[in-house]
């Protein structure tokens, strides 16, 4: 019996040794770094899970989508709904000549020979805004309140206040209004100059009257010029519709970086592009409206146009940039300082002018009467000049339309001298009238009736002057022309 027990124990021990040896042989064959720890193999506790290392996210990779709920909870109470009653328009009521002949009310007044009302019924409008001070100052769009006879502000707690319009600035489309309340929640401001395309933005407003609606998107572009104004708009794809105007545009830190102002649409509703006024510009306007009820801007008295590739080559610029002066107002600060058509303004007070629309914006922010230090490009070299700014009036001449860009071959112009009486009739100082246009000149956008003023920055007063300057030019010339009341440079490729 004892011998059987002894043989059984020996057999079990032998099997154990074989198993351990087999495990060790597999461990030796395993790749480095994947061997099990011997203590763990022999321990009675569960084996530790193998360590896995996830690869680091690639640079620029989006790792998740943000949750805006806390941002909205903290800032939504400072966003207000604005409703307006617009001023009645005299002479627009039923029975007037401007009324629709098929309108039943118009027919009623005509049939019974009753006097028609002098005013049309007042119309109503809606918009949005946001509180910028605890004592009731609210920023919104100028187009929301500019023509209103009554402005009502509704808070998220459903209190309503009749607002006083402190000031309206139509050039920037910014307005400041005030309600009689204290202890109000306010928004906080960010730096709109630091925005980059691709960053998240959030719009809160009252589209179609649906109060405190939240939409989100990304910055599509910055410094977008629209029309002929002084606003470098922020373009986003956040959904904005009628009623959102005047509402805030937030960054992901809960800071206002813009005022929603416009949409690009063929239907009247959102089509993927909305535009906001940068808050830096809006706060400058707000400070002036609060202090004096109006905004003062500067001008220097030039009309400018973009510099395209052909114009850059003609004037010897390495790359297209700056604002090309196409006209200088008589007796303006620019004329007194010595600026002339053909100069390219490349900087103002150290700020580079990349696009022509940068110039009016930067000049406008300089206090009237101050000196503007301009960097200019003239005669294929850099120069500097100081211009004293003056107050911008109601009819500025700060921009000119862009000209056509296509063309090639010879000039293709037939011109004749203008008589003094013709110069007076056309309100021009130019002396050469274009009578026929063909070839490259036609393709470049020149027209019969244009008045030629100069070539490549040099004035021309005769046909001989024109021929001489064209002969001196290289493969392209920049003709300064007057068309109606505007002066523009037109590049023409002459081969």
Pick the catalytic residue: 245, 298, 326, 332?
Answer: 245
Nearest Cα to Cα of residue 199 among 212, 215, 182, 216: 216
173 is catalytic: yes
Residue 173, both tokens: 């489309």
Query: How does 86-98 read in b/e, with b if 16+ C-beta sit within 10 Å?
Result: eeeeeeebbbeee
DSSP element (H, E) containing 312: helix 309-315
DSSP element (H, E) containing 24: helix 2-29
In this structure, are residues 451 and 433 in contact, taking their beta carbons and an 8 Å threshold? yes
DSSP string, 265-297: -SSSS--S-EEEEEHHHHHHHHHHHHHHSS---
284: DSSP letter: H
Query: How does 407-420 read in b/e, with b if 16+ C-beta sit within 10 Å?
Result: beeebbbebeebee
484 is catalytic: no
Pick the catalytic residue: 143, 147, 280, 354?
Answer: 143
| CA distances in angstroms from 169 to 208, 225, 282, 294, listed in the order given | 24, 18, 10, 7
Q: Where are the alpha helices (DSSP H) in 327-454?
A: 333-337, 358-364, 420-426, 439-444
- For residue 315, the number of C-alpha atoms closer than 13 Å in the C-beta half-sphere is 35
Query: How does 423-457 read in b/e, with b if 16+ C-beta sit within 10 Å?
Result: beebebebbbbbeebebbbbbbbbeeebbbbbbbb
DSSP element (H, E) containing 213: strand 213-224
Specify the residue for token string 């202890």.
183
DSSP string, 77-122: GGEEEEEEEEPPPBT-STTSTTS-TT-HHHHHHHHTTPPPPSBPPP
Region of 14 (left: φ > 0; alpha: ψ -120 to 50; beta: rest) is alpha
- Which residues, 6 or more positions from 375, have their beta carbon under 8 angstroms from its beta carbon? 345, 346, 347, 348, 382, 383, 384
Region of 334 (left: φ > 0; alpha: ψ -120 to 50; beta: rest) is alpha
In this structure, are residues 257 and 278 in contact, taking their beta carbons and an 8 Å threshold? yes
- Which residues, 6 or more positions from 88, have their beta carbon under 8 angstroms from its beta carbon? 119, 120, 121, 122, 149
In this structure, are residues 371 and 388 in contact, taking their beta carbons and an 8 Å threshold? yes
Pick the catalytic residue: 169, 173, 450, 493?
Answer: 173
| Active centre residues (catalytic) | 143, 173, 245
């Amino acid at each position: 019996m004892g011998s059987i027990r002894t043989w059984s124990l020996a057999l079990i021990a032998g099997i154990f040794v074989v198993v351990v040896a087999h495990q060790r042989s597999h461990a030796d064959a395993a790749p480095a770094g994947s061997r099990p720890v011997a203590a763990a193999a022999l321990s009675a506790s569960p084996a530790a899970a193998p360590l896995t290392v996830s690869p680091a996210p690639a640079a620029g990779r989006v790792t998740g989508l943000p949750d805006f709920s806390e941002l909205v909870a903290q800032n939504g109470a400072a966003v207000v709904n604005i409703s307006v009653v617009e001023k009645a328009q005299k002479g627009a009521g039923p029975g007037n000549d401007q009324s629709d002949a098929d309108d039943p009310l118009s027919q009623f007044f005509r049939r019974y020979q009753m006097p028609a009302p002098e005013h049309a019924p007042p119309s109503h409008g809606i918009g949005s805004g946001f509180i910028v001070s605890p004592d009731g100052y609210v920023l919104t769009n100028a187009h929301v309140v500019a023509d209103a006879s009554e402005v009502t502000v509704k808070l998220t707690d459903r209190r309503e206040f009749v607002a006083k319009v402190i000031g309206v600035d139509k050039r920037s489309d910014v307005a400041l209004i005030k309600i009689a309340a204290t202890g109000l929640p306010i928004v906080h401001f960010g730096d709109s100059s630091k925005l980059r395309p691709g960053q998240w933005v959030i719009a809160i407003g009252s589209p179609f009257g649906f109060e405190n609606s939240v939409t989100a998107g990304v910055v599509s572009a910055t410094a977008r010029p629209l029309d002929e104004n002084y606003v470098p708009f922020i373009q986003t794809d956040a959904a904005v519709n009628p009623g959102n105007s005047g509402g805030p545009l937030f960054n992901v830190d809960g800071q206002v970086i813009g005022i929603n102002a416009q949409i690009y649409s063929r239907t009247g509703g959102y089509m993927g592009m909305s535009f906001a006024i940068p808050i830096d510009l809006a706060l400058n306007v707000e400070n002036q409206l609060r202090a004096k009820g109006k905004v003062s801007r500067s001008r220097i008295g030039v009309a400018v146009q973009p510099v395209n590739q052909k114009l850059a080559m003609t004037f010897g610029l390495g790359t297209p940039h700056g604002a090309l002066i196409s006209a200088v107002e008589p007796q303006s600060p620019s004329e007194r300082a010595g600026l002339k058509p053909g100069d390219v303004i490349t900087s103002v007070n150290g700020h580079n002018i990349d696009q022509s629309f940068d110039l009016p914006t930067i000049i406008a922010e300089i206090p009237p009467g101050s000196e503007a230090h301009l960097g200019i490009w003239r005669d294929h070299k850099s120069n500097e000049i100081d211009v004293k700014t003056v107050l911008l009036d109601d009819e500025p001449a700060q921009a000119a339309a862009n000209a056509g860009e296509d063309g090639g071959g010879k000039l293709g112009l037939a011109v004749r001298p203008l008589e003094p009486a013709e110069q007076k009739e056309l309100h021009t100082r130019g002396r050469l009238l274009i009578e026929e246009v063909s070839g490259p000149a036609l393709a470049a956008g020149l027209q019969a009736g244009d008045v030629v003023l100069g070539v490549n920055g040099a004035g021309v007063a005769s046909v001989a002057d024109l021929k001489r300057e064209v002969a001196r030019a290289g493969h392209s010339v920049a003709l300064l022309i007057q068309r109606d009341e505007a002066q523009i440079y037109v590049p023409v490729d002459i081969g």
